Amino acid sequence: MATYKVTVATGDMVEAGTNNSISITLVGAYGESRQTTISFLFLPGKERSLSVHCGQDLGPIVLIRLHKWRLFLEDAWFCKDVRVAAPNGTLYRFPCYQWLEGVTTVEVREGSGKKLVDDKLQILKEHRHRELAARQEAYRWKNFAQGWPRCLNVDSIFELDSNIQFSRIRANNFTGFLIFQGASHFLSGFLLRRSSWNSLDEMRTIFSRTQGRDIVPEYVAKHWQEDDFFGSQFLTGNNPIIIHRCTTLPLNFPVTPEMVAGSLGGATDLGKELQEGRIFIVDYKVLEDIPTDTIYGRQQHIAAPLCLLHQGTDGLLRPIAIQLSQTPGPHSPIFLPSDDEWDWLLAKTWVRNADFYSHQLLTHLLRTHLFGEVFAIATLRHLPTCHPLFKLLMPHFHFTLHINTLARSVLINQGGLIDKRGLEQVTYTSLCLPDDIRHRGMSHVPNYYYRDDGMSLWEAIESFVTGIVTFYYDGDAAVSGDTELQAWVMDIFTNGFLGRTSSGIPSSLQTVVELIKFLTMVMFTCSAQHAAVNNGQYDLGAFVPNAPSSMRHPPPSEKGRAFLQHFLDTIPEVATTANILVALILLSSQLKDRRLLGQYPEEWFTEAEPRRLIRAFQGRLEEIRDRIEERNQQAELRYNYLNPLETENSISI
């Protein structure tokens, strides 16, 4: 007679418990137990213990089956984990972390990370195959729009599996927040006003109503007209990946030395500054000829500007020339700081509008949300729960499929701006921060805190990934021979990057080094990169002239025609501003049930070494946090968007 001591833990969410019948079957290398009832009542956050008696030793316990049965009413149950103590004292852990709904049987593998080649028992190979077959049926691809990465084949959040939906506390927090913000702006009258703002000062009244969130918007409202602040946002703003060092002027941007001589100072000239690497460019060519929509029946407008910036002797970046189209000529003048105040200010505002589009649709939506979804779906389709890379990656997809499905339902225009031009700009180099910084020539620009903090996080993630990979893969042959891994990366290449070899995205991974880099890119994209381009949206966008979401007049075709009222009539009207602000403050908010980078409440790894690596990763993140907070104490305007205390594990908002 062999007796096994079994402990079953229920999740701690309020709704996690059940009054349905739960029973268990133990499966060992030498046989399996009879189905044994655990209980008819499971309370949230509590454990149930029982003894399972077997006629013989089952050998190593490799699998358990949890059976849920109901007599009358359905009551879903969330199983956290199961622990089994064998007669010889060996403890087996079975991480579950999933909902059991209806009358069902769920099989859970023992928690050690196992690649396909590691499974010797036929029962484990068959379980692996069944799990992936079921997942590939449940998580199918679909085309949402031509030229976009493919997405999950569902039409609403109600079609999502319970295990990837928002938790109840987060869903309630999300909905309540939207209702509160919308009602606040409605009752204030902002959502009803379809007229222009009366003055620049009046625009500050809309964000001053958001208690505790107005410090940075007030700073922006005070400094938005300054060239120094305009330039700084390409380094520490919401879109810090678009600026490049410029060594040769584009042929379609005919800036002459005489035009910028006053901005550069008498001791130098444009040729010298280009040669010495102090000229930078931002080019929004991707927006050229993009169709625009109407708001409240009025046609909106968009430009595809080029902006030249200079790094002064004080290290600060300042704009020195702006052209509002890709085609130079008499109707596309080059605006300069020496122009009339409103001409120059309006030109900079057109750049900020282009940056809003570029940021929202390419930097934020495409490069984080849509690719994050691709990584998540491919992981679910090709890596079984016992695979070490599933255990590593799944925490970084927490709530991503829910938020993206919700966005497609209510926010994203299916015929919108992301077409093949946007996707064609994405390269493997641009997704890997160290390579991207070198490629854009931005390695030594001062005050580039996105680069500095981002590199610290990239290196911390890379070190963690290196430890995990080298623990489970003993060499390059183990990587190239992992057929599940190869199917995973091919799925990403095919459905995320549409098979574009020109992107440089690998379609296979042959070495340990290649695998480490790819995994680091995935985890960085889903955590730090999203935080960098998401968390400051309200801070820098609440004062509408700094990040106008639309423009109601076409870009100027000549100088000398701009004035205050024209400016007010060009940027968004009051109601549009209010609508945008509801979205921006939600996107920048810290909702309940969030998980910060390095926090792994679901203990997928059961071996000692991966758990040690997690602790080391967490310690390194604490060091990064301390450095950032020490720097911010001296700063007039803090850059905190990559502080680990502000960086979530996943794209969840």
Strands 317-323 and 279-283, how do they pair? unpaired
Q: Mapping DSSP to helix (H, G, I), strand (E, B) and coil, where does residue 332 land?
A: strand
HSE, CB side, 13 Å, CA atoms: give it for residue 471. Answer: 22
Output the pLDDT for position 112. 98
Degrees, nearest 5: CA angle 294-300-306:
145
pTM: 0.95
What would the pLDDT profile of 411-428 be if each residue is shown by its tens digit? 776 555 555 677 888 999
Q: For the segment 136-165, what is each residue's pLDDT rounded down to a tens digit?
A: 999 999 998 888 999 999 999 999 999 998
Mean pLDDT of the chain: 94
* Those residues with Cβ within 8 angstroms of residue 147's Cβ, 6 or more apart along the chain or in another chain: 418, 419, 420, 421, 422, 423, 498
Report the DSSP pairing between strands 104-109 and 61-69. Answer: antiparallel
The tokens of 233 are what? 């946002």
pLDDT score recorded for residue 183: 62
Angle at alpha carbon of residue 364, lines to 410 and 513, rounded to 5°? 130
Position 502 scores a pLDDT of 95
Q: Is 533:237 a contact under the CB 8 Å cutoff?
A: no
Portion of the chain with pLDDT greater than 90, in percent? 85
Per-residue pLDDT, 589: 79
C-alpha separations of 107 from 4, 26, 57, 378 in Å = 18, 10, 20, 21
DSSP H helices in 237-327 = 257-264, 270-275
pLDDT of 182 strictly over 80 = no
The whole-number average pLDDT for the span 594-599 is 96
The answer to whether residue 181 scores a pLDDT higher than 80 is no
Question: How many other C-beta atoms are found inside a 10 Å radius of the C-beta of residue 153?
Answer: 14
Which of these, 488, 525, 474, 476, lies nearest to 389 by C-alpha position?
488
DSSP output for 167-225 = PHHHHHHHHHHHHHHHHHHHHHTGGG--S--S-TGGGHHHHTTSTT--HHHHHHHHHTT
550 pLDDT above the threshold of 70: yes
- Angle between the N-to-C axes of helices 483-491 and 371-382, in degrees from 0 to 180, rounded to the nearest 10: 150
Query: What would the two tokens of residue 21 be?
Result: 């019948």
pLDDT digits (tens, 9 = 90+) for 486-535: 999 999 999 999 999 999 999 999 999 999 999 999 999 999 999 999 99
Q: What pLDDT does 420 receive?
A: 62
Q: Is the dihedral of CA 121, 35, 83, 74 positive or negative?
A: positive
Look at the chain and count its residues: 653
- Mean pLDDT for 112-121 is 98
Asked whether the predicted pLDDT for residue 375 surpasses 80, the reply is yes
Answer yes or no: is pLDDT of 185 > 80.
no
User: Alpha carbon of 78 to those of 20, 41, 266: distances in Å?
Assistant: 12, 12, 71
User: Does the pLDDT value for residue 391 go beyond 60?
Assistant: yes
Three-state DSSP class for residue 320: strand
> Rounded distance, CA 608 to CA 161, Å?
31
Query: What distance in Å separates the CA atoms of residue 305 and residue 302, rounded to the nearest whole number?
Result: 9
Kindly report, residue by residue over 427-472, the tens digit of the pLDDT: 999 999 999 999 999 999 999 999 999 999 999 999 999 999 999 9
Give the number of other CB atoms < 10 A from CB of residue 151: 22
What pLDDT is attached to residue 591?
80
Q: Which two tokens stand for residue 61?
A: 């316990």
Q: Are 486 and 427 in contact (CB under 8 A)?
A: no
The pLDDT, as a whole number, for residue 208 is 60
Quickly state the pLDDT bin for 376 (edges 50, 70, 90).
Answer: very high
Q: Residue 212: pLDDT band by 50, 70, 90 thresholds?
A: low
